[in-house]
Chain A
Amino acid sequence: MKKEWLARLLVLALVVGFSAAALYARWADRTLEVHAAMPEKGGWLPNTLTARADEPLTLRLISDDVVHGFAIGQSDQQPSVDILPGKPVEITLLFDKPGTYTYYCTRWCGPNHWRMRGTIEVEGDDSSLANDPSGPVAPPLYLMLGIDLDAPHDVQVDVTRQPSARRGAALDTNLPAEMLSREYVRAHSPYEVWQTLRETPAASPLSDADLWDLVARLWERSTTPDALQTGAQLYAQNCATCHGTTGAGDGVFAAALAGETSATPISPGLGHETVAPTDFSDPAHMLGASPALLHGKIIRGGMGTGMPSWGLIFTDEQTWALTDYLWTFTFQFQFKETTP
């Protein structure tokens, strides 16, 4: 009889012990599951997360349909990870500053891919912010200059040959010193600079086309090969799908954005207007725009055009790199893109 009781106790202990262990393991696992689905099917679930500064946040990322990616905007602490269907990935994030962070999908998962974003609220005492050496963030240049992003900026220009920075450099003209600064270039459109040059006595022997070459040279001087390379990469990943690899506004989603194909409406029933993507190789459109204007458009996005806003995704440096790269569609720079 005693042995039977012992056996019963053993069975009971095993049953309770195993269940308790399983429950404890589940409770102790603080991993948060985040599901990724195409934006039409809900996007990120959940799309708001909370965390505390200096406490690790572990996420298990699961794709419910197609290939997605995960990255944190304006931050390089988490390199982009791919989320393949059927292969959950776990990542651990550690935020050192409280604030609101944006996470976003990094692989084109459909025409509305860019809408797939979520926020992480990182709480913490603000004392760490007060000691932040980087200080408060300055407003973007277009706001400081008071540029209206939605004002039409097309100019009637007669550019018969593509302005070339190489030819501009070969002219070896003494340009006004103020024009040589990066700040000057960023605040002015090529057309404004060209007009100013046209009125400069030193430039009077030069033809109109030569002056455009000088403008191209000024624009090339204001950037670096590294920035252009970064811009090229960002452009390929985020812009080429609509604006096309050659910048001609003929990407794979261009026709749908222009409303030419009803088969694949970009935002069915959402009431969003879309227009054809801008053609960056069109001089009339580009030469009247200042870098600050393009920079602002990238940050804010185009209301009513279908252009996403990238202000929460790119760092200021990345946005400028992208802005610089856009000019390679209008001007000939001595820049060769290297494919990684």
Chain B
Amino acid sequence: MMKSSPALLRNAVFLAAALLVAFAPLPLPQTPPAERTFRIDATQFAFAPAVLTVNPGDRVTIELTSLDVVHGLYLDGYDLQISADPGQTATMTFVADRAGSFRFRCAATCGDLHPFMIGKLHVGPNTLLWRSIGLALLAMFAAVMLGMPRLRKA
């Protein structure tokens, strides 16, 4: 019983660290919302630019211009969709009120490689990714630390 006390403490420390990594509020720089306009050129089979970065709360306008065939843009998470013929630029405007990273994909079948025509919208830093990395590192560290006494015993 006496022996288990440091082990319990150690477990409690790891658990506390894990909760901290997963849920602690980050001191993110707060930027005032701004108007942002992106012109995306769509060709078979890519968006240019394919990665957009905005701050949470920004008012985002996307102008989709197709340079060859009919393309579309479907934004995951926000559930928005437009489609553009060559010569007819399509625009969509939305407020980026959901933080995170979201895929956007071509919304009109544009040829063989259409499913691979994707891009990304970053709204603020991708905290989910960083927290996951932190948790994974912590788990690795914990596995090493907790496994050590048993190794010594053996």
Docked-complex contact A241 and B109, CB < 8 angstroms: no
Docked-complex contact A236 and B109, CB < 8 angstroms: no
A67, A245, A264: the one within 8 Å of B70 (CB): A67
Segment 239-262 of A: residues with Cβ below 8 Å from B: 239-242, 244-245, 251-253
| A81-95 to B contact mask, C-beta < 8 Å, 1/0 | 000111000000000
Segment 36-75 of A: residues with Cβ below 8 Å from B: 38, 63, 65-67
Docked-complex contact B69 and A108, CB < 8 angstroms: yes
A110 to B109, CA, bound (A): 13
B86, B111, B112: the one within 8 Å of A252 (CB): B86
B87, B111, B112: the one within 8 Å of A108 (CB): B87
CB of B108 within 8 Å of the partner chain: yes
A81 to chain B: closest CB distance in Å? 14
Known A66-B109, A86-B109, A252-B65; judge A107-B70 contact (CB<8 A): yes
Number of contacting residues on B, CB 8 A? 16
B40 to chain A: closest CB distance in Å? 13
A110 to B87, CA, bound (A): 11
- Interface size band for A: 20 to 34
Docked-complex contact B109 and A84, CB < 8 angstroms: yes
CB of B88 within 8 Å of the partner chain: yes
A251 to B65, CA, bound (A): 11
Q: Which residue of B lies closest to A110 (CB)?
A: B69
A109 to B68, CA, bound (A): 7
Q: Which residue of B lies closest to A255 (CB)?
A: B67
Docked-complex contact A67 and B67, CB < 8 angstroms: no
A38, A65, A84, A253: the one within 8 Å of B86 (CB): A253
B85, B108, B112: the one within 8 Å of A241 (CB): B85
Which A residues are within 8 Å of any B CB, using their own CB? Answer: 38, 63, 65-67, 84-86, 107-111, 236-237, 239-242, 244-245, 251-253, 264
Which B residues are within 8 Å of any A CB, using their own CB? Answer: 65-70, 85-89, 108-112
Interface pairs (23), CB distance under 8 Å: A63-B109, A66-B69, A66-B108, A67-B69, A67-B70, A84-B108, A84-B109, A107-B70, A107-B85, A108-B69, A108-B86, A110-B69, A111-B68, A236-B88, A240-B87, A241-B85, A242-B87, A244-B87, A245-B87, A245-B89, A251-B87, A252-B66, A252-B67
